[in-house]
Amino acid sequence: MTSKTTGPTPPDNQTPPPHVMPKVRRVTADDITESLKAGFSDFLARPFMSGFFGLFYAVFGILFVWCLFWLGKIWMVIPAAIAFPLVAPFACAGLYEMSRRLQKAESFGWSDILTVMASQRQREMGWMAFVTLFVLWVWFYQFRTLLVIILQDSSFSDLDGFLNTVFFTPEGWTFLAIGTCVGAFLSAVLFSVTVVAMPMLLDRDIDFISAILTSIRVVQENPVIMLAWAAIITLTMLLSLVPAFLGLIFTLPILGHTTWHLHQRAVSPAEA
C-alpha cells in the first residue's frame, strides 16, 4: 500500500534565518533633554496611574527599612539605601508599557498596565530579574565581608553608633573607600546591562542575552552621555529617599517614562 502526502516537503537541513542584533545609535545631550520632556509629558498624561508606581515603590522602601530595624540589621541600612534604586527598572515596567501605548495613541486601563509583568512570563523578563538579583546578592555579600574584615573590632547596636563608626573612625574611612569603589563597579555593571535592556524586552521580541548585549553596546558607544544619565538617575533617586521615600512618587515615574523614550533614541527600531 502506498501513501500520498499533500503539500510541499520541507528540506531536511533547513537553515534558520540569521539573528540580527539591534543597531545602536549615537546619543547626545539633546536626546536626554528631549526624553525628559517626553517622560514628563507622559507623567502629566496619566499622573495618578504613573504616581501609583512611585507610591508602591516608596511604600516598599519604607517597609523594607522598617524590617531592617525590626530585625536588628542596622548594618544593612546603608547598602540597602544604595542598592534600592538599582531595582527601579522592574518597578518601571508598567511605566514603560504606559509610554508605549501613549506613543501609539492606544487606549488602556489599570488592568492592562498592572498585568504587564504577568504577560512577560512566557518571555525573557524573568532572566533579567535573575541577573539583577544576582548582582544585588554580590553587593550585599561584599558589603558584609568588608564589614567583618575592616570593622571586626567595632560594635554598633543602633544606627547612630554605626554611622559614627563608619564616618568618624579611620577604619570606617577605609571601609567607605573600598566599599564605594566596589559598589560603584557593581552599579556600573548593572546599569550597563539594564539601561535599555528592560524596555527593549517590552518593546520587541528579543531574548534577554541580545537585550543585555545591546544595552552594553549603547553604553560603549555613548560612554559620556550614559554616564551623565546614570548620574541623573542616581542623584534624583537618592534625593527622593530623603523625604521618607515620598519623593519617589514623582521622580520614579518621570524617570521611568524618560527611560522608555531614551531607549528608542539609543536603539534603532526593529526591522519588519
Domain parsing of the chain, residue ranges: 29-109+119-266
Q: How confident is the model at residue 102 (pLDDT cuts 50, 70, 90)?
A: very high
Mean residue pLDDT across the chain: 82
Q: What is the pTM of this model?
A: 0.81
Residue 12 has pLDDT above 60, yes or no: no
Q: Which residues pair with 206 in a beta bridge?
A: none
In terms of Cβ atoms closer than 10 Å to its own Cβ (0-12, 13-18, 19+), residue 228 is middle
Sign, CA torsion 256/262/268/272: positive
User: How far is residue 202's CA from residue 117's CA, in Å, rounded to a whole number?
Assistant: 9
Alpha helices in 109-222 (DSSP H): 110-114, 125-150, 159-167, 170-194, 197-203, 208-221
- C-alpha cell at position 65: 527599612
Residue 139 has pLDDT above 90, yes or no: no
Element spanning 230, H or E? helix 223-241
Task: Determine the pLDDT at residue 113.
Answer: 84
